[in-house]
């Protein structure tokens, strides 16, 4: 008789219920959306990270002394390789790729060391080959180290990940504020009311779309805000369409266009340090995104994600691109839109490849004025910080240890923002790490967590107070029984 109910239950299940029962097996991260939604959402990711991808090649290329045409080529190459790295991360193969909605692109952490390499190279024609050679070596070493580096995931509980996610959002805010002030910090009108007004208008447009629309339109609020903001900027004389007419329709990034890679020990060491910093930030980003999409990144996921980062970095110089890393601003876009499909980001990676092969398409996206990007960036980056605060709410902040971890780690991570000259007396090599509030805050949070929550763990876990400076009766009463064990 025990078998009878099972048979009846299996036969009686309606078709819609059986479909519903199967849905949990497919996480939203692995869902494929309708084509139009997939394309527009993917394009939104490209728009959010475009400025971050093109900035490093423009800065380094200008330092090398490249012509305008060569600068366009270098920028296109960075977009092309960012697309390859994004596909490695989202689609993946074998044990490569976190298979999360991650956008990869040129890491800004490498800009300062690359400029130092340019300064130290007598013949500037050798600068890019030396940089590319160093990135290839650093990428391959990082690929081999990925499974060992990923074991650090156990040192990232919610109190650490929440702190780091918050720092990612706060650290990106100056980028949005810089965009809002205009395209050229050296210009006389940088930070003028015209630029700030455009940024404010773009921000308001995004907020209004988010508030008064629903469904698909609401989810692409940032993309619509960028389009409308760009149109509004035309009468202000800020939108420049001249680049479209000057750009080539097709332009493949010829391998080793600037010469065969050269391998210099000092350059390799500096790029290996950048790779370590990049892997640290990528680990934090993966943990953050895992929380946002409700698919926590475990050790295996992080190892696969780091392999994608490092392999993408090793391949990138073959096509004249730079070191690749996860883009935190796109984490904010996922948090805001709630579109968690990795295939959406894969489509974005495909767009990046096409744009890299079509300079005219790259120039079209480049017409979006920086102030318009800045207004949208406030929403994007603020969403990341808000996600971090949500994670901290679940981090057991009723314990005095955890409050102290958050307090000190946030303070350390905010130093490069609040006091940019704080580390001016340190060596240039140390500045690679110290100038990244995400890296220093992450290291501080991990170390403090080890000290407070792993040393004498049984005793310290019992300590609960309302505030770290209130060590009154509650603290003494809770600690006394714990020490008796």
Could you write out the DSSP letters of every residue in 424-475?
TTS-HHHHHHHT-HHHHHHHHHHHHHHHHHTSSHHHHTT-B-SSTT--SHHH
What count of other Cβ atoms lies within 10 Å of the Cβ of residue 333? Answer: 29
Q: What is the dihedral of CA 368, 375, 289, 27, to 10 degrees?
A: -70
Give dist(CA 328, CA 364) in Å, integer.
Answer: 24
Pair 374, 230: CB distance under 8 Å: no
Per the CB < 8 A criterion, the answer to whether 179 and 354 are in contact is: no
Per-residue model confidence (pLDDT) at position 215: 67
* Phi, then psi, of 41 in degrees rounded to 5: -70, -40
The SS3 call for residue 420 is coil
Distance of CA 1 to the CA centre of its chain: 58
Q: Looking at residue 19, what is its pLDDT?
A: 47
**pLDDT reported for residue 24:** 53
Contact 448, 170 (CB under 8 A): no
Q: Which tokens is 58 given?
A: 């423009």
Instruction: Please report which residue ranges of 15-34 form alpha helices under DSSP H.
Output: 15-22
| Parallel, antiparallel or unpaired: strands 324-326 and 104-106 | antiparallel
Tens place of pLDDT per residue across the chain (485 aa)? 444 444 444 444 445 554 445 555 678 788 888 888 888 888 888 877 776 777 778 778 877 887 767 777 888 888 899 999 999 988 888 889 888 888 888 877 677 678 778 877 777 778 899 999 999 999 999 999 998 888 876 777 788 878 877 887 787 788 788 889 988 888 888 888 999 999 999 999 989 988 888 766 776 777 788 889 989 998 888 887 766 766 677 777 888 888 888 888 878 877 887 787 778 778 878 887 888 888 888 888 889 999 999 999 999 999 988 998 887 767 777 877 788 888 888 998 898 898 888 877 666 666 778 898 888 888 877 877 887 788 788 788 878 888 999 999 999 989 988 888 888 888 766 765 677 677 788 788 888 988 888 776 544 444 544 444 444 343 334 444 443 33
Nearest alpha-carbon partner for 292 in 214, 218, 384: 384
Here the tokens at position 282 are 């990528």
Sequential DSSP letters for 280-314: HHHHHHHHHHHHHTT----HHHHHHHHHHHHHHHH
Positive or negative torsion for Cα 106, 112, 113, 114: positive
Distances (CA, A) of 234 to 38, 245, 369, 378, 447: 29, 17, 10, 22, 50
d(CA 410, CA 417): 11
Which 3 state secondary structure label does DSSP give 327? coil
| pLDDT at 6 (0 to 100) | 46
Q: What is the pLDDT of residue 143?
A: 94
pLDDT of residue 366: 64
Residues 6+ apart with CB under 8 A from 200: 375
* Contact in structure between 272 and 310 (CB atoms under 8 Å): no
Residue 424 CA from chain centroid, whole number: 26
Cβ neighbours of residue 26 under 8 Å, at least 6 residues apart?
none
* Residue 9 confidence (pLDDT): 43
Answer for the pair 114, 322: CB distance below 8 angstroms, yes or no. Answer: yes
Evaluated on CA atoms 10, 30, 283, 87, the torsion sign reads positive
Tokens of residue 259, six digits: 């010469």
Domain boundaries, the chain: 28-157+240-368, 396-479
C-alpha closest to that of 36 among 216, 214, 213, 209? 216
Tell me, what DSSP letter sits at residue 423? T
């Amino acid at each position: 008789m025990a078998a009878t109910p099972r048979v009846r239950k299996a036969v009686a299940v309606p078709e819609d219920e059986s479909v519903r029962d199967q849905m949990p097996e497919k996480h939203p991260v692995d869902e494929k959306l309708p084509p139009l939604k997939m394309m527009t959402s993917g394009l939104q990711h490209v728009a959010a990270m475009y400025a971050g991808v093109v900035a490093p090649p423009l800065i380094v290329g200008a330092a090398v002394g490249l012509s305008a045409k060569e600068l366009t080529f270098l920028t296109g190459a960075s977009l092309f390789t960012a697309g390859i790295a994004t596909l490695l991360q989202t689609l993946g193969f074998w044990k490569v790729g976190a298979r999360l909605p991650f956008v990869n692109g040129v890491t800004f952490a490498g800009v300062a060391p690359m400029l130092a390499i340019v300064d130290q190279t007598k013949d500037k024609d050798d600068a890019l080959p030396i940089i590319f050679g160093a990135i290839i070596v650093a990428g391959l070493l990082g690929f081999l180290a990925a499974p060992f580096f990923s074991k650090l995931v156990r040192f990232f509980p919610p109190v650490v990940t929440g702190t780091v996610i918050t720092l990612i959002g706060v650290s990106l805010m100056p980028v949005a504020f810089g965009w809002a002030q205009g395209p050229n910090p050296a210009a006389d009108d940088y930070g003028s009311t015209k630029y700030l007004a455009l940024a404010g208008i773009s921000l308001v447009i995004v907020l209004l779309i988010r508030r008064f629309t629903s469904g698909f339109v609401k989810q692409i609020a940032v993309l619509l805000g960028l389009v409308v903001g760009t149109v509004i900027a035309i009468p202000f004389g800020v939108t420049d369409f001249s680049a479209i007419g000057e750009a080539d329709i097709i332009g493949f990034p010829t391998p080793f266009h600037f010469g065969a890679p050269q391998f210099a020990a000092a350059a390799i060491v500096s790029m290996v340090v950048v790779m370590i910093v990049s892997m640290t930030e990528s680990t934090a980003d993966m943990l953050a995104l895992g929380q946002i999409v409700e698919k926590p990144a475990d050790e295996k996921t992080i190892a696969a994600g780091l392999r994608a980062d490092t392999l993408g970095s090793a391949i990138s110089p073959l096509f004249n691109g730079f070191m690749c890393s996860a883009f935190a601003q796109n984490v904010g876009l996922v948090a805001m839109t709630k579109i968690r499909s990795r295939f959406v980001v894969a489509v974005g990676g495909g767009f990046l490849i096409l744009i890299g092969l079509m300079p005219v398409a790259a120039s079209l996206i480049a017409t979006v004025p920086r102030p318009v990007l800045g207004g949208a960036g406030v929403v994007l980056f603020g969403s990341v910080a808000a996600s971090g605060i949500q994670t901290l709410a679940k981090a057991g902040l009723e314990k005095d240890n955890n409050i102290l971890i958050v307090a000190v780690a946030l303070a350390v991570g905010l130093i490069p923002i609040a006091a940019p000259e704080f580390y001016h007396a340190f060596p240039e090599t140390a500045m690679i790490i110290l100038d990244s509030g995400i890296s220093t805050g992450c290291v501080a949070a991990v170390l403090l967590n080890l000290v407070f929550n792993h040393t004498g763990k049984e005793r310290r876990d019992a300590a609960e107070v309302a505030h770290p400076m209130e060590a009154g009766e509650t603290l003494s009463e809770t600690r006394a029984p714990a020490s008796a064990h």
